[in-house]
Amino acid sequence: MNVSSSLEQNVRLLDKVKAGIHWGSFITTTVFSYMVVTIVHRTPRLRNKLHYVLLCQHCFCISGFNVTGALLHTMLSLHMAMPRIVCWLLFGSQVALARGLMLTLTLMALNICLCVCWPLRYREIVHTVKNKAIMGAWLLALLSPVVFTGMACAEAQEGYLTELDPACHTPMEGWASLLSAAVLLGLLTLLIMLSYVLIYKEGRRVGHFSDANSRGCRTILIHGLQISLHILPGMLIIARLRLGLVGALVVFVVFSLAQSVSPVVYGLRCQEIRTQLPRLCCSEPLEGDEAQASGPTPSIARCLLWLAALPLSLFALLSCFCPTPFPLVGGLCDAAGPSDRQPSTAQRTAPADNHRPGGKR
């Protein structure tokens, strides 16, 4: 009983800490992301560059990942029993946004590599593959969550999807899903490393002691550190290692910190955005505002605003499904997070249902 009580306390603490970090990261990254997206949209010469288009999508993925994680862990920390379909959609959306985050980072690295190593053919290549690459990246990000969640929904019995699930099991916890995530993360990591190695070699060939090349090497080091702090904890999370409470907290904090600084590392460090930032903060007209004064609000900025209103909307939706606002449960899990939760004592005494999708792990 003492061990069980200790595990339950660790689970509650872990969920509360994760929820708090996700909410803080969501607020911080949304503010920075809105600044970056607004500057890019209101500056025509930035809006037409592929790097800044990918940067805006990257910022959207960061904010979306944090808000879905904040909602999920908040409801788990409050012991709110969610309908299974809500839990599946939340976790699937978070997985898709996490993959979109890494895919946009990879496309940005490949874009810089093309610009530096093949400057004469850069415009031709980008004009040919830009739209196809962006569409393919989003399809790849959505592929695994849609396939595994769709298969689970197809196999579910009538009424199973709307039943309350305090343990929050999802179809994305199987070995096939984890293996596909590990393979994709490894492939994207190799592409990013290859891109930066080619950029560094081209810089050495052009001139190692030039001022511009020194700044480029410093940028590569900063980007490499940020990406490594994002990838290594991600690998540990995918591997489902039992690290204990302290280890799980350290991995999650490092992972969240690496994501939170992305808008600064890839956006606000850019000179073209940094020069426009004081005007935006002082509510002064930006470059190109005269031509865009009556233009529409950028679509990604509108999405960021919708993300800010998403928590209240989802809680209102859950109130329609849950008979009581905050049903208490005694779920247990290890320090890896909500995906490894075990049923409570009352649930373990219930007869097993071997026909439930994702029921056996």
End-to-end CA separation in angstroms for the chain: 24
Residue 155 has what pLDDT? 85
Residue 174 has what pLDDT? 77
Q: Which two tokens stand for residue 8?
A: 């339950």
- Which segments of the chain does DSSP mark as H helices, in order? 2-41, 44-47, 50-77, 84-117, 122-155, 175-206, 211-239, 244-260, 262-263, 271-274, 277-281, 289-292, 299-321, 345-348
Measure Cα distances from 283 to 40, 56, 292 in Å.
Answer: 15, 21, 15
Q: Per-domain residue ranges for the chain?
A: 17-150+172-323
Question: Average of pLDDT values for 218-246?
Answer: 79
In 10 A of CB 80, how many CB atoms?
20
Kindly give, in sequence order, each residue whose CB lies less than 8 Å from that of residue 313, ignoring residues fewer than 6 positions away.
none
DSSP 23-52: HHHHHHHHHHHHHHHHHHHT-HHHHT-HHH
pTM for the whole thing? 0.75
pLDDT, tens digit, for every residue of 115-171?
Answer: 888 888 888 888 889 899 999 999 999 998 999 988 888 888 878 888 887 777 788
Q: Which two tokens stand for residue 185?
A: 């993360």
pLDDT of 10 strictly over 60 = yes
pLDDT of 17 strictly over 60 = yes
Angle, helix 122-155 to helix 50-77, in steps of 10 degrees: 20
- Fold type of domain 17-150+172-323: Rhopdopsin 7-helix transmembrane proteins (1.20.1070)
pLDDT, tens digit, for every residue of 297-314?
Answer: 455 555 555 555 555 455
